[in-house]
Amino acid sequence: MAKPAIAPGAEFDGFTIGERVHQGGMATLWTVTHPGITVPILMKVPRVSEGEDPAAIVSFEMEQMILPRLAGPHVPGCFGSGDFSRQAYVVMERIPGKTLLSRIDKLPIPYEEARVIGGKIATALADLHRQNVIHHDIKPSSIMFRPSGECVLIDFGLSHHNQLPDLLQEEFRLPYGTAPYMAPERLLGVRDDPRSDLFSLGVLLYFFTTGERPFGESETLRGMRRRLWRDPYPPRQLRPDYPPWLQEIVLRCLEIEPVWRHPTASQLAFDLAHPDQVKLTARSERLKRDPLSTVWRRRFNQGVAVPKSKSDVAAQLASGPIVVVALDTEEGSPMLNDCLRRTAAQLLSTLPSARLACLNVLKLGRITIDRTLDEQGNNKHIDRMVALRHWAQPLELDEGRLTVHVLEAIDPAAAILEFTRVNNVDHIVMGARQNSMLRTLLGSVAGKVAAEAACSVTVVRPPRSAVMGEGEG
């Protein structure tokens, strides 16, 4: 069967070809229209002529397999594809605007802007990883933003899907990707660790906030292998005003061993959303690279340890969830708070990489003017933060796994739901009101959260005998 000509005005499979908008090393993009599709769309066609890189074909096959399986605001919608027997193509949503590459000439950007951008990218990666996909080509030209603000990841030709054959792994020995952004373990053939994407995001944050690439411009395999044992210059050496919390985050992303990075993209996004609660370690104050003795020790140990078995992306993400415990520090009974602590301890004991966020809502009046100080002149917000830390102290968590948050809102349930949505929370633990009159007058906050939350919710009640005992006292 003759292959259709890809040219303006040509039509096949119901799609009418418009103008060519981009020609890259592996594929060409065309605007197309279809009678049944009202949103702007693009057709991506692989370059398969004589002399083209054979990896372009395999890469396109991977994108054809992966893109139709993805959903949500952080990926372009897929509207159809064709195979190589006639004409290979994939039709996808056209995201308006430019990629992040358009900002390259204006680096470095302000730290606060970098924090917001990084948080949006990390949120998009968290959503992608939950769909069993590791991107493996996070760089400015693969990142766009919707008019509504969400980050959109594009170009999945180098991606790994945990439930699909990895054709790039099977057919090529050399690692494919963009050299400055490639994680060290990728050089050893590891393609099933989602933390490789966090490394790439760390490179991007370093570059966008310092104007320098952490590993230089080297494109040779020999030059790239140095990152198996050589760390980058700390950002504070390049910019003395670099915020310690941001250096902590960036250098953690750039750790050579994946296990020392954030466990999940959700936890990285959480840190970027709450810079005031980032646990600062020696990373945050570093002004020099590791000493040569450390570098040589890494080199002789062959750098990153290669996993002995294939990892499970879903299982890895499940081992590092974000858990929120919503506490009532004012009206909550001591018995209920003890039960909440025991429930949290049971959860965390089986999840060594989990993160705990203790949450309290300072309820505002709908009409009255709220005072920030209580009758004794103490700041309510600070008092509740102290109370949350006191509640969590018996859990004996590492400080890097614990944060406390006091929200101010008229509707406590809505505030909890919004916090969990914005911060990609995986599990909420909260207590139910014990006083039936309060439930009647104020409604059940726990009931509303349990009904509307997009994550798991555990509602805890103390033993009935204990509640009766309290009332009798």
Q: Where are the domains of the chain?
A: 11-93, 100-304+311-316, 319-472
> What's the topology of domain 11-93?
Phosphorylase Kinase; domain 1 (3.30.200)
Per-residue pLDDT tens over the stretch 402-435: 999 999 888 989 999 999 999 999 999 998 866 5
User: pLDDT band at 206, cuts 50/70/90?
Assistant: very high
Hey, how many other C-beta atoms are within 10 angstroms of the C-beta on 201? Answer: 30
Q: Which CATH architecture describes the domain 319-472?
A: 3-Layer(aba) Sandwich (3.40)
Residue 329 pLDDT? 72
pTM score above 0.85:
yes
| Residue 68 CA: distances (Å) to CA of 72, 73, 128, 326, 422 | 11, 14, 13, 38, 26
CA–CA gap between residue 204 and residue 104 (Å, rounded): 11
Q: What is the mean pLDDT of residues 217-236?
A: 87
Domain boundaries 100-304+311-316, CATH class: mainly alpha
pLDDT at residue 472 tops 50: no
Higher-pLDDT residue of 199 and 370 is 199
Per-residue pLDDT tens over the stretch 71-108: 999 999 999 998 877 788 999 999 999 999 999 999 99
Q: What is the mean pLDDT of residues 51-75?
A: 86
The rounded mean pLDDT for the chain is 86
Per-residue pLDDT tens over the stretch 100-122: 999 999 999 999 999 999 999 99
Virtual CA dihedral for 292, 297, 302, 305, nearest 10 degrees?
-110
Q: What is the mean pLDDT of residues 336-365?
A: 89
Q: How far is CA 211 from the centre of its chain?
A: 23
The answer to whether the CB of 29 falls within 8 A of the CB of 44 is yes
CA–CA gap between residue 358 and residue 392 (Å, rounded): 8
CA–CA gap between residue 156 and residue 134 (Å, rounded): 9
Per-residue pLDDT tens over the stretch 238-289: 999 999 999 999 999 999 999 999 999 999 999 999 999 999 999 999 999 9
Per-residue pLDDT tens over the stretch 33-56: 999 899 999 999 987 765 556 777
User: pLDDT band at 375, cuts 50/70/90?
Assistant: low
Q: Please, which residues have CB within 8 angstroms of residue 179's CB and are 6 or more apart in sequence?
A: 218, 219, 223, 224
Per-residue pLDDT tens over the stretch 293-350: 888 888 887 556 666 556 677 777 888 899 999 988 776 578 888 999 999 999 998 8
